[in-house]
């Protein structure tokens, strides 16, 4: 078994469980599917595998899962998280037939946390810190919304604040210049596993290519190591993937979210 195969096996066994959705407010089962509900009217469908199901069975599951969320008027949007290495006959077509639309495919990156623990020279006037105050979190969320090209939403910041209130181990890190947040990301240690996730990495366009994202990633890796986590995982865009590859993370598979909106 290659190292990439070992890492992918650890990912499937340790992360594709309830550990994947620590902030869920409700979870229902449909065959191997986990139908997750989050605060703010968001549904999320995930699973460890599809248990060798046929295209016909998978089609029924997609329709039944969507009917479950449609029955709750509070649910405004649903994400169905697919992985490129799953055996899932007919899933793409079934999702499209039920009104889901595929989003950008990202790389599943995994590697040792210590490989990301490097020293990076920051641009003059840029500093890093961990944040927890509401004012900082709302500023961080607004910057991420802008970078990701979505409408700025108090709902996104509210969801992060609810996570912070749960004290589930999530850490929020930012890079600042003259009091303005120019880059941000979060660290999510996964309880009872070897993993911590690095998520939400966003850097303003005018600050890219200057080592800030690398420095922010290194800070989060050091925090993960301090918590006893040995592996880092992330779903990475084509912008961040090469950076993580240079520091030893491997692309073990892909993930494509399919989105439905009421």
Contacts 24+ apart (CB under 8 A), 48-55: 48/12, 48/16, 48/17, 49/12, 49/16, 49/86, 49/87, 50/86, 50/87, 50/88, 50/91, 52/87, 53/89, 54/89, 54/90, 55/89, 55/90, 55/91, 55/94
Residues 122-133: what's their mean pLDDT? 96
> How many CB atoms within 10 Å of residue 112?
18
Packing angle of the helix pair 154-166, 134-148 (nearest 10 deg): 130
pTM: 0.87
Query: Regarding the domain delimited by 3-108, which CATH topology (the fold level of the hierarchy) does it fall under?
Result: Aminopeptidase (3.40.630)
Determine which helix (DSSP H) or strand (DSSP E) holds 86, and give its type and residue range. none
From-to residues of CATH 3.40.630.30 in the chain? 111-254
Interval 35-80: pLDDT, tens? 999 988 999 999 999 999 999 999 999 999 999 999 999 999 999 9
220-255 pLDDT, tens digit each = 999 999 999 999 999 998 888 888 898 889 999 999
Pick the CATH number of 111-254 from 3.10.129.10, 3.40.50.720, 3.40.630.30, 3.40.50.2300: 3.40.630.30
Q: What is the pLDDT of residue 123?
A: 96
221 by Cβ neighbours in 10 Å (0-12 / 13-18 / 19+) ranks as buried
Rounded mean pLDDT, 90-94: 98
Confidence of residue 162 (pLDDT cuts 50, 70, 90): confident
């Amino acid at each position: 078994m290659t190292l990439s195969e070992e890492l992918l096996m650890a990912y499937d066994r340790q992360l594709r469980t309830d550990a994947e959705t620590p902030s869920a407010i409700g979870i229902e089962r449909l065959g191997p599917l986990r139908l997750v509900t989050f605060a703010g009217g968001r549904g999320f469908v995930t699973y460890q595998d599809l248990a060798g199901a046929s295209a016909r069975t998978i089609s029924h599951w997609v329709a039944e899962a969507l009917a479950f969320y449609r029955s709750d008027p509070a649910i405004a949007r649903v994400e169905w998280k697919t992985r490129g290495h799953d055996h899932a006959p007919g899933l793409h077509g079934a999702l499209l037939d039920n009104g889901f639309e595929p989003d950008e495919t990202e790389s599943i990156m995994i590697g040792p946390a210590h490989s990301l623990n490097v020293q990076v020279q920051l641009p003059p006037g840029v500093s890093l810190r961990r944040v927890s105050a509401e004012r900082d979190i709302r500023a961080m969320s607004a910057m991420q919304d802008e970078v990701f090209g979505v409408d700025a939403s108090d709902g996104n910041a509210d969801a992060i604040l609810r996570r912070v209130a749960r004290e589930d181990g999530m850490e929020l890190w930012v890079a600042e210049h003259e009091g303005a947040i120019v880059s941000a990301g979060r660290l999510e240690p996964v309880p009872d596993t070897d993993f911590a996730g690095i998520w939400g990495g966003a850097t303003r366009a005018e600050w890219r290519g200057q080592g800030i994202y690398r420095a922010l990633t290194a800070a989060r890796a050091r925090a993960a190591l301090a918590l006893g986590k040995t592996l880092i995982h992330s779903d990475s865009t084509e912008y961040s993937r090469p950076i993580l590859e240079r520091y030893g993370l491997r692309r073990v598979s892909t993930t494509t979210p399919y989105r439905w909106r009421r």
